[in-house]
Amino acid sequence: MANAVEGPEAQHASMRRGCQRRNTPLWGVPPARRKGDYSILSRLGENIQAARKESDMTQERLAEMVDLHPRIVQKIEAGDINPKSTTLIRIQEALRCPWETLMTGVRQQKKDA
């Protein structure tokens, strides 16, 4: 046991390993998406993009209006990220379109069992 670490360092190391074993989320790592989330997010992004283009607005202008970085707007439209509900509210208000426009086709279809 010459290599064994004793004291607070050993206790701290065992706590770290315990957290890793319990599959607790790590900082900066997004949670795994559920099956079907990709199609929902991509459809939502398509709807936002269509509404933005209908309003003759650029991604940069929309980003400025909703206080986001233009790259985030691009990722939302591509379906790469899952925006917060407050972000969706700001986008909907900036585009001045009804919720139905943004949510058309977003609802996940249930498969017949």
- 66: tokens are 């909703």
Domain ranges of the chain: 37-103
pLDDT score of 4: 56
This model's pTM is above 0.95: no
What are 31-59's pLDDT values in tens digits?
656 777 888 899 999 999 999 999 999 99
Which residue is listed with tokens 């559920």?
34
- pLDDT class of 27 with cuts at 50, 70, 90: low
Query: Would you put residue 27 in left (φ > 0), alpha (ψ -120 to 50) or beta?
Result: beta
Give 64 or 19, the one with higher predicted confidence. Answer: 64
Quickly state the pLDDT bin for 65 (edges 50, 70, 90): very high
Half-sphere exposure (Cβ direction) of 27: Cα atoms closer than 13 Å: 0
Superfamily of domain 37-103 in CATH is lambda repressor-like DNA-binding domains (1.10.260.40)
Segment 17-21 shows an average pLDDT of: 47
